[in-house]
A and B are shown apart, each in its own frame.
Chain A
Amino acid sequence: MSNVTFKFDGVDYVGQAGDSLATALLRNGVLHFTDSTYRDRPRGIMSLWVDEPNALVNVDSGAGEPMVPATTVEITEGLVARSLAGIGDLPDTRDISRYDRAYRHADVLVVGAGLAGLTEAKKYADKGKTVIIMDDQPEVGGHAKQCGEVIPPELLASLTLENVTHLQRTTVIGTYDQGYAVAVERRTDHVSSKVSTDVARIRTWHVRAKHTVLATGAFQRPLVFANNDRPGIMLSHAAATYVERGVSKFKTAVVVTVDNQGYTDAIRLHKSGVRVLAIVDIRKKLSKASIKLARKPAEKLGIRILKGATALDTNGNLDGILSSVVVTDPKSGLNETISTDLLAISGGWTPTVHLATYIGIKPTWSNKRAAFIVRSKVKSISAVGMLAGDFVELEPAVYFGTELDETQALVAFVDHQRDATLRDLRRAVGAGMVSIEHVKRYTAIGTAHDQGKTSGTLTMGLIGNLVGLALDEIGSLTFRPPYIAVPFAALAGRERGLHTEPIRTTSIHPWHIAAGAPMEDVGQWKRPWFFPKPGEDLHAAVLRECRAARNGVAVMDASTLGKIDIQGKDAGEFLDQIYTNMFSTLKVGMSRYGLMCGVDGMVFDDGVTTRLGENHWLMTTTTGGAAKVMDWLEEWLQTEWPHLEVFCTSVTEQIATVAIVGPKSRDLLAMLSPGLDVSKEGFAFMENKYADVAGIPARIARISFSGELAYEINVSAWYGLELWNKVMELGAPLDVTPYGTESLHVLRAEKGFVIVGQETDGTQTPDDLGMDWIVSKKKDFIGKRSFSRSDTSRPDRHQLVGLLPDTSAFVIPEGSYFAEEQHKGATPPIPHIGYVTSSYFSGELNRSFAMALVHNGRARIGDRVAIGNETAVITEPIFVDKENVRRDG
């Protein structure tokens, strides 16, 4: 066994490789571990594993982690840890450890690799099923292994079969519907105390299993008596295990028990050289089997047995550490104080039911086992081993502690982490609480870090005593995942930083990056925000870009728009239903702007749709709406109108779109596509032509989102970058100017063009937006029926208008609410009459302007509104080229 040096509370210690921190500290004689959170009572290590309520540490080495039970930390060279009085510290440096995630499907998931779990795993593995077996301990074998039993080799052998995935140090933290389970595997903390950046420190497993076997075993529970929380008082199985591992601090011991387990552990202590002064057994009479299995072997070793007695109180030395136990039997009048180093309690076994309760299985109370056990009625879940109550031969008494007076109750602890006592329980019951869920919230019992792993059943038993109800009448324990505390970073895995969400880019993206354009997030897409020249800020760049678009030629990457290819003889009829305006009458080769409403009559998307052929259409949607519109089209085709011959296919990324915009765009197009008739008469507004552009086969549409003469050049995305490069090259003499989303927004807003999702939030009808012109009076379409609802046809709805601030340089923050003019400068609360949807500074107008939704807006053109200390005039929502003549160039 090699030695390991570690630091605890600033002191260097030496432990043995493979020790838990708790074992190593006990080996070094550390009994007083910390003081309790609320009452500063000295506390020591009480148990063996995650159920430990007292010995919490802050691990400061490596990634650092607060509030870890010392019983679960494996010591490594250089480990640094600190005791905690209830509250830990989050590390103040970023956790740069690597964490990852793995997904697996299996026929069977076995949780727990004790004897019961191993037996189940072998059973399924031998049948050829894919089995995943997970156990949270460092070593296979669970409870039996801790007691020193040998695990049958054939069980271990099945763990190495090809169809078995075996993971230790892996805690299933949650179980969910349809066999889903999430587990965390600790991979490096037991190997090194250093931060692990190349090997995942924790791997989070997501498992989908057809069948789940729960073999999670059980924890011992303590008893409630006065001063039952001193260092030196331990659960009996834990005490015996520590002593067997070589902890030599205890020379004498008293075992207080309600079941045969106490005898087993007393004998283990005795065999390791501890003088067991007495076994104090609340049970007077035992079955013949128990007498044979438990009492006789103890008597043979000369251990004194006090029948029908239990612990009443303890005494401590000046440091509060256990010095003696007061044993009592009210019936016989026994009241004896026994000096002892160690008080080992066996209050009964509490099966670890959490994972079963997460998926709605209610544990059932068994009087014979003095425990809540899991009997699964669900076909896909089975419970085995101690979880299922496989310990009836221990013959426990249903007993939780002796009668105590008020003073004793005040120091009789039920939940060590909350410093909650029997007195708190009595007060809760006195206040009328009966259900465990009410008591839990009134006293905070079970709500601390250990989530009631030791206090749960104890609390229910004591409540039962206090109100005279049987344990299955009080309600059942509900637990919630995660089973143990888990770092958020482990759940995130690799989904951090740049990998949190996909970053979507167009085929022209490399050019934007090389040009140094800052990017804007549009949903998952990165779109160039603006293209600053050296020394320019956003404001200066936008002024220059917009000036180029309105006076020269500018170019934009419009590839992110959603695109849906629609084919079939009924496509026109279908589009007539989907859009508010007519499409079936659109000529081949022409494009038309359309608006889409939901059945509630509210606008939810828009776009330009082109008729490529008699039965062939290309629909565009907003960048953010592409998936939603695709689902919408398919919903109607599949669930309402399957008779329509229409097929839809997503082509959002198939086509790259480069828009050239401005009075000189015609000249640029002529250079890019010599031989193409680009004259005003030869290439009409909203017309499409096929031609080679810079040698690349393209479809050119004369469409404008800026109000200027403009063309959208569509090519296979394979050639998007080549097209852009050629536009920049051939457009150089025209000073072709790339522009980004900011300028795009300003240009369209100057024309009063709405952006769905900016001017709309799902509660605007076309009429609200002043777009009654696009609503066909001739045909029915989805949503039209809702226009005649009383609320939708109200004349005073919020309507789209323009705003011009009286302070012409004041750009109203988007989203601002505004009020009547007389409320200028007033302090809230003030009734608002609308809000700003878009707001910019216009180079063209040399002033600020905004679009807004105002109550009864169209009737209020010319009125003023107040925004804080500023005012603005309501106008028509159009600011530049009100006659729309610039469109033809």
Chain B
Amino acid sequence: MVKVNSTKATSSLGGAVHGGLDKNIYLAEVPNTPGIDLRVDPTSPAFTAVNQALGLFLNPQVGSVVRKNADCIVSQDQQPSADGISALCLGPDWWLLTGTADIASLLRPVQDTHHISIVDVSAQRTKIEIYGPKVKEILGHVWEQDLRDSTFPIDACTQGLMAKSPVILWHCCENCYLIFVRSSFAQHLWDVIADATVEYL
């Protein structure tokens, strides 16, 4: 996986911020977030090997999220741990793995003997954090899927189209969601969400 050289790397939104942490809504790009798309058949021995290598039991239920050492950062003086992994199940044999751990290095040995696919998708998507007391109302202007907590609780994830842009949406903690959007769509999506905040800020 490519290490970020901060003087050379750019991101789709340049670390843009909108709204405020103390306001009805806060929107921020979390730029240059590493990510791996993993494909592995959960009914195969490869699956066990992957779980062992990651130190994590992947959940093959589409829409589930499993974490290791990757709690949501709640205050400014919290630091993420160095070996965190979050696994978002996007399909019955497909996960997005993200976090501070060097996930590709953990998985490469498994590929020597098992049929899995490891693809660096760090630049394929960019990450937008959206947080605030009005987050569900604002997302409701651009997102057609069900946002009720009964259907989409904390640590649920889903894929779909937000303002016609392919995204992964992760309800990561109370009143907070992470949007992984395909990089080329990011500016369009940002503009549409920022526009949707007009009556709330």
Contacts and interface: CB of A to CB of B under 8 A. Distances in A.
A and B touch in the complex (CB under 8 A): yes
Contacts of B117: 565, 567-568, 647, 649
A654 interface: yes
A468 interface: no
Nearest to B161: A502
A643 to B, nearest CB: 12
Contacts of A649: 37, 39, 117, 119, 121
B151 interface: yes
A588 interface: no
A653 interface: yes
Contacts of A501: 164
Contacts of A567: 39, 116-119
B23 interface: no
B120 interface: yes
Nearest to A563: B124
B163 A198 contact: no
Contacts of A721: 10
Interface residues of A, number: 49
A103 B144 contact: yes
A718 B11 CA distance: 6
Contacts of B199: 198-200
B109 interface: no
Contacts of A507: 10, 12, 123, 183
A716 B8 contact: no
Contacts of A208: 146
A67 B47 CA distance: 65
B4 A101 contact: no
A652 B184 CA distance: 9
Contacts of B191: 498-499
A504 B123 CA distance: 15
A502 B188 contact: yes
Given A502-B164, A504-B188, A722 B122 contact: no
A502 B167 CA distance: 13
B188 A653 contact: no
B8 A695 contact: yes
Given A653-B182, A654-B123, A103 B140 contact: yes
A421 to B, nearest CB: 47
Contacts of A653: 123-125, 182-184
Given A494-B192, A650-B124, A565 B143 contact: no
A319 B199 CA distance: 50
Interface string A475-514: 0000000000000000000100011011111110000000
B41 to A, nearest CB: 9
Contacts of B144: 103, 206
A837 to B, nearest CB: 28
Identify which of A525, A653, A721 gathers the most chain B CB atoms within 10 Å of its CB. A653
Nearest to A205: B140
A718 B124 CA distance: 9
A636 to B, nearest CB: 16
B196 A100 contact: yes
A582 B183 CA distance: 33
A525 B184 contact: yes
Contacts of A719: 2, 5, 8-10
A404 interface: no
Contacts of B32: 718
B184 A718 contact: no
A97 B100 CA distance: 46
B37 A718 contact: no
A503 B164 CA distance: 10
Interface in A555-605: 560, 565, 567-569
B51 to A, nearest CB: 18
Contacts of B93: 647
A645 interface: yes
A499 B163 contact: yes
Contact of A101 (B10, B141, B183, B187): B141
B201 to A, nearest CB: 11
B185 A504 contact: yes
A503 B187 contact: yes
Nearest to B12: A507
B148 A105 contact: yes
A503 B93 CA distance: 31
A569 B163 CA distance: 38
A647 B195 contact: no
B164 A645 contact: no
A567 B41 CA distance: 13
B151 A105 contact: yes
A262 interface: no
A105 B146 contact: yes
Contact of B123 (A100, A200, A503, A717): A717
A880 interface: no
B122 A716 contact: yes
A654 B140 contact: no
Most chain A CB within 10 A, of B10, B163, B196, is at: B10
A571 to B, nearest CB: 10
Contacts of B164: 501-502
Interface string B147-160: 11011000000000
A505 B147 CA distance: 29
Interface in A633-670: 645, 647, 649-656
Interface string B27-45: 0000010000101000000
A716 B196 CA distance: 32
Contact of B2 (A506, A525, A650, A718): A718
B83 to A, nearest CB: 22
Contacts of B187: 503, 505
Contacts of B118: 567
From A103, A501, A568, A721, residue with most partner B Cβ within 10 Å: A103
A104 interface: yes
Interface string A594-627: 0000000000000000000000000000000000
A100 B165 CA distance: 18
Nearest to B191: A499
Contact of A718 (B9, B146, B195): B9
A466 interface: no
28 contacts: A103-B141, A103-B144, A105-B146, A105-B148, A130-B148, A199-B199, A494-B192, A499-B163, A502-B163, A502-B164, A503-B188, A504-B184, A565-B117, A567-B117, A567-B119, A568-B117, A569-B115, A649-B37, A649-B117, A651-B121, A653-B182, A655-B123, A716-B122, A717-B123, A718-B10, A718-B32, A722-B9, A722-B10
The 8 closest A-B pairs by CB, nearest first: A647-B117, A647-B39, A717-B123, A504-B184, A105-B146, A567-B117, A654-B124, A718-B9
Interface of B: 2, 4-5, 8-12, 32, 37, 39, 93, 115-125, 137, 140-141, 143-148, 150-151, 163-165, 182-185, 187-189, 191-192, 195-196, 198-199
Given A507-B183, A717-B183, 5 more contacts: A502-B165, A567-B119, A650-B124, A717-B124, A718-B8
